[in-house]
Structure 1
Amino acid sequence: MGKQVEVLPDKAGVLARGLELVMAKIASSVEESGRCTIALAGGSTPKNLYEAIAAQSLPWDKIHVFWGDERYVGPKHPDSNQGMARQAWLDRVPIPEANIHPMPTGSGEPAVDAQTHELELKQFFGVADGEVPAFDIILLGMGDDGHTASLFPHTAALSVSDRLITVGSKDNQPRLTFTVPLINRAKCVIFLVTGAGKRPALTQVFAPDGDPQTYPSRLIQPIGELWWLLDQEANPV
């Protein structure tokens, strides 16, 4: 299918199209395999999407929720991606707690927690060592610097190819993150990008040639579908 870029008039348009896509992918995944696995992003734009998803009627017992990255804080911390998604969506719907799979951040050792979560993913998806599981949906945002998940420019996490989960870093603060190979194994990746501040980086991400170490979102080339949903302000064209 390749890369699909859709430019919507404004943030509300991006959210409406994102909701439409997510609902369709959940329905098709449940129909095909009896469940849907979705990995969430942090940030203000996804938060509005989660609030919209919470208002839908869905087979909650068949949806399994994960996170593409997490700041190394507790779930009650205001910076927690898990905490945000619970407030905006998960606490508002009858989804079984066993279907919620947050990244652990409590051991005090980010590398240990990354390994723990990787093991959980392998067990959940039933994959052997060396195999990479395929999420049905991975939602991503993009920072003004071109990063996505916690894959920041010129950091070691960008080059990790033998793990599912690794430790990312921003301003010397650790974060847990999906690795590039795990994201790229997904059946459907959806970027939600809004605001004029994203346009310079998007220009580089979409350029025919460019440096993925400087603009890590260039590394996201899934074997499945890739959707870029942009508002007019973010549109680099």
Structure 2
Amino acid sequence: MKKIVEILADREQLVARSHEILLAKLAEAVQTRGQFTLALAGGGTPKPLYEALAGDDLPTDKIHIFWGDERYVPPDHPDSNQNMARQAWLDRVDFPEGNLHPMPTGAGDPAADAERHDAELRSFFGVAPGEVPSLDVILLGMGDDAHTASLFPRTEALQVCDRLVTVGDKDGQPRLTFTIPLLNKARCVLFLVAGESKRSALAQVFAPEADADAYPSRYIRPEGELWWLLDEAAGKSIDH
């Protein structure tokens, strides 16, 4: 694993830097593999990145979009990560609908929808049961409790190693989430973390030793590159 930590002056510079990295990874992937696979994150921090991407002239026919996690709500719900990304980027450009691979949330059964999406991923990437595919870039955020995707502290989803997608639990509310093995198989994981409220959790994530079950972002150690892009407010006192 190659770990890179950058502390940017503010959110605006954090977004600009993530935009720069993403465009470079996209160009590299299209040139070497003919397509670019990207998993999006929810939350307020990456939204300006998506809005910036909407202004770029991108080879959308070669880009496949996934989501690292999703709230178990309809796709047009205000809390939907898919809905946010569509409004900020995907519906504003000529994106082939077949290149968008949202997590299904319509079965009324989160476990069934997780299993369905697991099968969709295996089919798209052409991997057999037991194999884990490599996405080019997975964008992640981090909560004040050090959760990432929908992998929350001391929840069952942290222990799931035999699937690509599982059900996360946020205070009794189900969510669909990529599992740790799928996140860690990525060619590049890009954390975007902003705000002073993240500082204490980051200290535990970056500490030489701490309980990963209590601070799930510690579990993210991809085979490829691990980027932490932090704004000054979040990363001020981080020893990296």
TM-score of the superposed pair, with normalisation by structure 1: 0.99
Runs of 5+ unmatched residues, structure 2: none
State the secondary structure of the residue aligned to 2:145: coil
**How well do the aligned residues superpose, as a CA RMSD in angstroms?**
0.6
Map of 2:56 onto structure 1: 56
Quick one: distance in 1 between partners of 2:138 and 2:93?
20
Pair 1:198-2:211 in alignment: no
Map of 1:155 onto structure 2: 155
Map residues 43-192 of structure 1 onto 2, 5 A cutoff: 43-192=43-192
Map of 2:209 onto structure 1: 209
Percentage of pairs with the same residue = 65
Quick one: distance in 2 between partners of 1:54 and 1:27?
16
Q: Which amino acid in the other structure matches residue 138 of structure 2?
A: I
Quick one: distance in 2 between partners of 1:7 and 1:102?
31
Quick one: distance in 1 between partners of 2:45 and 2:90?
16
Residues 114-155 of structure 1: per-residue CA shift (max 9 Å, x gap):
000000000000001100000000000000000000000000
State the secondary structure of the residue aligned to 1:233: helix
Quick one: distance in 2 between partners of 1:199 and 1:11?
15
Residues 171-216 of structure 1: per-residue CA shift (max 9 Å, x gap):
1000000000000000000000000000000000000000000000
Q: Which amino acid in the other structure matches residue 83 of structure 2?
A: G
Quick one: distance in 1 between partners of 2:137 and 2:54?
17
State the secondary structure of the residue aligned to 1:61: helix
Quick one: distance in 2 between partners of 1:91 and 1:138?
20
State the secondary structure of the residue aligned to 1:44: coil
Quick one: distance in 2 between partners of 1:197 and 1:8?
16
Q: Which amino acid in the other structure matches residue 119 of structure 2?
A: L
Map of 2:19 onto structure 1: 19
Runs of 5+ unmatched residues, structure 1: none
Quick one: distance in 2 between partners of 1:47 and 1:155?
27
Shift of 1:2: 1.8
Quick one: distance in 1 between partners of 2:101 and 2:95?
12
TM-score of the superposed pair, with normalisation by structure 2: 0.98
Shift of 1:95: 1.0
Shift of 1:166: 0.2
State the secondary structure of the residue aligned to 2:177: strand
Quick one: distance in 1 between partners of 2:100 and 2:2?
30
Q: Which amino acid in the other structure matches residue 35 of structure 2?
A: R
Residues 15-73 of structure 1: per-residue CA shift (max 9 Å, x gap):
00000000000000000111000000000011111001111111010000000000000
Quick one: distance in 2 between partners of 1:210 and 1:57?
43
State the secondary structure of the residue aligned to 2:234: coil
